[in-house]
Amino acid sequence: MKGKLKSLKAKPKMVTLHCTDTSDEIDYTAANIDAWHKSRKPPFREIGYHYVIRKDGMIEKGREDHVQGAHVRSHNKENLGIVWVGRYHFNEAQRYALLYLYHYLRIKYGVHSGDWFGHYEFDTANGKTCPNLEMDDIRAWLEGTSDLLLK
């Protein structure tokens, strides 16, 4: 979809987690991802995700929350996109950053752990394994019923 950015009519109702699917050795930035998405064919107007979790746990802002994302085919409406930088190694700093973001978005929009999904859980994921994390474990981590750091 080319053209102008759509505004979310209502506040976000769900969150979808992604990974950049890039080398775990390289810490890409929101600016890098913005450049990748702008060079797609057809190009996105800007980075498709709303938040980026860097290797050191820093959270960078992508798209504004009130602007519809471009991260899950056919399911971007009222869906915030978060991407962690890497492919397989979701490190300790990133796990804590995710927990922070979870509580931030829970308080801001009332989205709870049951409203969090992994890209692979959507019918349009086409066999993608993104974000390469077991979402039941992630939801339990967000709820505080499991310690992801022990896994």
For residues 53 and 64, the answer to whether their CB atoms sit within 8 Å is no
19 or 142: whose CB is closer to Zn ion?
Answer: 19
Angle (nearest 5°) at CA 25 between 18 and 14: 10
Q: Which residues pair with 118 in a beta bridge?
A: 17
**What's the rounded Cα separation, in Å, for the pair 133 and 138?**
7
**What's the rounded Cα separation, in Å, for the pair 36 and 117?**
23
15 binding Zn ion? (CB under 5 A)? no
For residues 83 and 69, the answer to whether their CB atoms sit within 8 Å is no
Query: Nearest distance from residue 16's CB to Zn ion, in Å?
Result: 7
Query: Nearest distance from residue 70's CB to Zn ion, in Å?
Result: 11
17 binding Zn ion? (CB under 5 A)? no
Phi, psi of 61 (to 5 degrees): -85, 135
**What's the rounded Cα separation, in Å, for the pair 76 and 128?**
17
Using CB under 5 A as the binding criterion, the count of chain residues that bind Zn ion stands at: 3
138 binding Zn ion? (CB under 5 A)? no
- Residue of the chain from 18, 75, 87, 95 that contacts Zn ion (CB under 5 A): 18
50 binding Zn ion? (CB under 5 A)? no
130 binding Zn ion? (CB under 5 A)? yes
18 or 95: whose CB is closer to Zn ion?
Answer: 18
Residues 105-124 that bind Zn ion (CB under 5 A): 119
50 or 119: whose CB is closer to Zn ion?
Answer: 119
Residue ranges in contact with Zn ion by CB under 5 A: 18, 119, 130
